[in-house]
């Protein structure tokens, strides 16, 4: 069978993307005010009441941090800046959670703004297939963001390990992804960077629940109004995003790319460089002619074609995909 040849890349955000994210953060609903500081600037953040935000309580009074090697390592925030990921056990509940630790002295104003933008988006969402933010703490040096702990790893790593999935298992994953995206779109939120690296398994069960993570590139959108900032990741970015005229259906295209990869192990658009890949995406021509597709049903191919329709006006919405008449998502 085919083998995934997509490199795992963490893309830097362009300056116009950061400008947009900063503006989106400032436009969030206001209920409680706080300041996050770095050595040079002050970032004004509006905090919603839907998440427990602790301004005066130390996180160490509530959580016991698990020391490395039980820590989760580091993750890239933006432009090479890192946040530390640790496991913490709630001292009263005994629940183990993931804690993202951001050092105020090591990040820029833009980097903090992007993280807090993600927090503001996630505080509006409550869905079983979307990462759940639980609490926020801060002290003079650090910001602590507490979320649910997911132990199953990234979908990307599962694709590399298994190379391809059965139609039944692929349908289970794609259905959950579409359920999460449908919820986001109904709340006027577009993710804009759907890819296997941003999909986590809740547990080691690769047939279990998945979670959409990393909403740092997301934003609120206005229905019937196009977005123009080019943002996303090669291989998964929709062609209309490259043309800087798109809506929330850019997420559906990315979902189609993931479905394609799950079934055959290879991306629909490939090349030695990102420029080559992006040019192929602009053309939008993909095929189901490799030997891996010989055993895939026509229903599955049709379903992918509906998600990867070049014309966004004809492309399925998440809701339409979940009600696909050919029953690909209802395989038992």
Active-site positions read: 193
Closest by CA position to 107, among listed 80, 86, 87: 80
Q: Checking phi first, is residue 284 left (phi over 0); if not, alpha (psi -120 to 50) or beta?
A: left
Q: Directed axis angle between helix 250-264 and helix 167-186, to 10°?
A: 170
CA gap 224, 136 in Å, rounded: 34
- Helix (H/G/I), strand (E/B), else coil: 145: strand
Closest-CA residue to 113 (of 22, 205, 176):
22
Pick from 238, 263, 242: which is nearest to 253 by CA? 238
Strands 42-47 and 210-212: unpaired
């Amino acid at each position: 069978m085919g083998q995934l040849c997509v490199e795992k890349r963490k893309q830097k955000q362009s300056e116009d993307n950061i400008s947009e994210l900063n503006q989106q953060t400032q436009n969030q609903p206001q209920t409680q005010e706080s300041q996050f500081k770095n050595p040079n600037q002050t970032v004004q953040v509006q905090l919603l009441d839907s998440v427990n935000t602790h301004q005066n309580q130390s996180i160490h009074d509530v959580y016991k941090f698990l020391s490395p090697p039980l820590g989760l390592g580091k993750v890239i925030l933006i432009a090479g800046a890192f946040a530390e990921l640790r496991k913490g056990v709630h001292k009263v509940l005994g629940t183990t959670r993931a804690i993202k630790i951001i050092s105020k002295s090591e990040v820029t104003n833009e980097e903090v703004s992007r993280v807090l933008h993600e927090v503001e988006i996630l505080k509006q969402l409550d869905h079983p297939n979307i990462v759940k933010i639980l609490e926020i703490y801060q002290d003079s040096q650090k910001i602590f963001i507490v979320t649910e702990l997911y132990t199953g790893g990234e979908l990307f790593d599962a694709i590399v390990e298994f190379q391809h999935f059965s139609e039944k298992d692929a349908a289970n994953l794609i259905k959950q992804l579409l359920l999460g995206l449908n919820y986001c779109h109904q709340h006027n939120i577009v993710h804009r960077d759907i890819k296997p690296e941003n999909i986590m398994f809740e547990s080691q069960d690769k047939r279990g629940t998945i979670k959409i993570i990393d909403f740092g590139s997301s934003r609120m959108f206005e229905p019937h109004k196009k977005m123009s900032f080019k943002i996303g990741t090669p291989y998964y970015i929709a062609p209309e995003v490259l043309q800087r005229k798109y809506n929330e259906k850019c997420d559906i295209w990315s979902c189609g790319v993931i479905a394609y990869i799950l079934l055959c192990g290879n991306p629909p658009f490939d090349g030695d460089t990102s420029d080559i890949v992006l040019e192929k995406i602009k053309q939008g021509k993909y095929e189901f002619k490799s030997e891996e597709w010989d055993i895939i049903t026509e229903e599955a191919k049709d379903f992918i074609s509906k998600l990867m329709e070049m014309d966004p006006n004809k492309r399925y919405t998440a809701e339409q995909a979940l009600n696909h008449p050919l029953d690909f998502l209802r395989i038992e």
